[in-house]
Amino acid sequence: MNFLSCRKHIISDRLVLFRPTEDDLSAIYEIHADPATNLFNPKGPMQSISTAVELLAHWQSEWDDKGWGYWSIALRSEPERIIGFGGVSNRPRFGGSALVQRLNSQNAANLYFRFRPDTWGLGYANEMAQQALRLAFDEAGLDCVFGIARESNVASRRVLERLGLNFVELSEDESGVDSNAVYSIDARTFSTRLGRLG
């Protein structure tokens, strides 16, 4: 049986986006336990597979409740290999209390992405995030999407800026190590931007 026929998915130019399942557990752990993907994470790499199990359960509960959430991400040319995770959620496990407060006070979601280092610099985060913003505004009916990146994480901040998210503020992180740069885009701005691109 064809791999893609077994899992509900969204296809973009180069990517396949899936609801995460237990089949992705090892990839969740590998990617979140990699020191390279945690350079800007004060908590450091994921320490155990049990933490990955908890994270997957958290993601799946949002899918069960709302029918959307973070995706497992693969290349169309190699759909069996998960290269990252990302999408939109209003129940993020990362981002700190300031982000949670924003999401709770608005009809909003957080944009998240984390990819294997060997796929960095190829535009996959941007491609995935375009699909995530379309889902957030066109299907989920959200009013706003936030993006959070460490102030010093220039690469992630550039992704958010290229997507059209506007810088809002620097928010002090609970760790005290580095500030978070908060970005946002609302539905009207996204729609206008799509019109210009079209």
* Block residue for tokens 């924003």: 102
DSSP 13: S
- Say which range, 17-21, 31-35, 51-55, 166-170, has the weakest mean pLDDT: 166-170
Q: Residue 37's pLDDT is what?
A: 96
What pTM was estimated for this model as a whole?
0.89
* Block residue for tokens 């539905």: 187
Q: Residue 1's pLDDT is what?
A: 37
Query: At residue 96, does pLDDT exceed 70?
Result: no
What does the domain layout of the chain look like in residue ranges?
Answer: 3-197
Report phi then psi at 44, rounded to 5: 80, -175
Q: Are 91 and 62 in contact (CB under 8 A)?
A: yes
Query: At residue 67, does pLDDT exceed 80?
Result: yes
* Block residue for tokens 């210009």: 196
Question: Rounded distance, CA 29 to CA 7, Å?
Answer: 21
132 φψ region: left (φ > 0), alpha (ψ -120 to 50), beta (else):
alpha
| 84: β partners | 73, 115
**pLDDT tens per residue, range 114-165:** 999 999 999 999 999 999 999 999 999 999 999 999 999 999 999 999 999 9
Give the CB-side neighbour count of residue 28, counting CA atoms within 13 A.
Answer: 23
The structure tokens listed for 87 are: 């999408």
Q: Residue 4's pLDDT is what?
A: 46
Angle between helix 49-66 and 25-33 (nearest 10): 120
Q: Residue 42's pLDDT is what?
A: 80
Helix (H) or strand (E) holding 27: helix 25-33
Which pLDDT band holds residue 90 (cuts at 50, 70, 90)?
confident
Q: 3-197 belongs to which homologous superfamily?
A: Gcn5-related N-acetyltransferase (GNAT) (3.40.630.30)
Q: Residue 102's pLDDT is what?
A: 65
Query: At residue 84, does pLDDT exceed 60?
Result: yes
Question: Rounded distance, CA 157 to CA 150, Å?
Answer: 8
Q: Which residues lie closer than 8 Å to 162 by C-beta, 6 or more apart?
A: 126
* Block residue for tokens 């990955």: 52
